[in-house]
Amino acid sequence: MQIDKLEWDHEVISEVLNDRDQELVWRIPLTTAGREDVWYWVKDSKGMFSVKSAYRHQQQAHGHINLNVSTDMWKRLWNLKVPPKVLNFLWRVSANCLPTRFLLALRHVQVDSLCPFCSAAPETALHVLVRCNFAKLCWQQAKVPIVAPSAMLFRSWFEEGLSKWNEVESIEAAMTLWALWKVRNDVVWNSISPSSEEVIHVAKMNYSDWCKAQQFLVPSPGTTTTELLRLASPGISDEQGPVVLPQNVLDLLLRLLVHVLLVESHQCLGDALTNGVDLRGVTSSLDTDPHVHAGETLSTQQ
């Protein structure tokens, strides 16, 4: 363009562009507004670029946009209090990108498309996770209410389930789905004999372990030494006598006790940080406290 005019520089364009490109340039409308140019992302109502809007645009351009899954469904999914790996799995299967045998066959991968559990129907996500006889046995033991009996796609089934199940049922359904896929992979890659009891056990144990891990990560200010020991040694009752813990567990407990002592002595962690508490000073207080002395924790009486 000419610097001082709102028009194309014909001489420059004629020299650097071929006839085809010149014609394309001439068709570009020039604005008469006197405002300065700004960056504007046309795929967003506010003009701001985001990965979400770019992803949606890319999906629309390739005809892959999923208009059948509501925004509420995604919100319910991401709000589930389950391990991140389970959320990732649920997103993949709901977005129809789980590598089932049927989907791999559609993409010209040379695999047997039949379900590895029953070998009676193509392995779609809905079949292997919901409709297969083996999956039905698992759902009967999970005791999650039946939903969408006429659904043709997994996302339709799961969307209706999230809208009808309560929080506990939604969590149990999510963990059962993940455990089903995990056992399915063991059948495919390790040639194990599937067991519905194993699916339910895997689902419950993984969720239980994850919940306990969350308690370790953020101990509450009122957590006592005994409660911390119980978290470290689940299943041990008060009547079982002395508990001998491994050194790595003892190290973890000492770190947690330091955290709890800091929080209790300053009422909240925010006060402790604001007052600039020196962590090095806590170790001396631990040495003077007979209840948390390292020598005594080797044989702790609950």
- The whole-number pLDDT of residue 263 equals 52
C-alpha distances in Å from residue 150, one per residue of 239, 255, 300: 53, 53, 57
Based on the domain organization, do 131 and 212 belong to the same domain? yes
- The whole-number pLDDT of residue 244 equals 58
Based on the domain organization, do 29 and 47 belong to the same domain? no
Q: Of 18 and 248, which is predicted with more confidence?
A: 18
Return the sign of the alpha-carbon dihedral for residues 87, 89, 92, 93.
Answer: negative
Decide if 240 is inside a domain: no
Based on the domain organization, do 16 and 111 belong to the same domain? no
Structural domains of the chain, count? 3
Q: Of 8 and 65, which is predicted with more confidence?
A: 8
- The whole-number pLDDT of residue 44 equals 86
Based on the domain organization, do 61 and 121 belong to the same domain? no
Q: For residue 181, what pLDDT band results from cuts at 50, 70 and 90?
A: very high
Share of the chain above pLDDT 70, in %: 69
Decide if 280 is inside a domain: no
Based on the domain organization, do 58 and 27 belong to the same domain? no
Q: What is the pLDDT of residues 235-267, one digit of tens each?
A: 444 455 555 566 666 677 777 776 656 555 555
Q: Tell me which residue range forms the domain holding 27.
A: 1-33
Based on the domain organization, do 15 and 53 belong to the same domain? no
Question: At residue 45, what is the residue type?
Answer: S
Q: Of 166 and 281, which is predicted with more confidence?
A: 166
Q: What is the pLDDT of residues 158-173, one digit of tens each?
A: 999 999 999 999 999 9
Based on the domain organization, do 119 and 208 belong to the same domain? yes
- The whole-number pLDDT of residue 228 equals 45
Which residue has 């994850």 as its token pair?
210
Rounded Cα distance between 215 and 51, Å, is 33
Rounded Cα distance between 123 and 128, Å, is 6
Q: Which two tokens stand for residue 44?
A: 């967003």
- The whole-number pLDDT of residue 121 equals 96
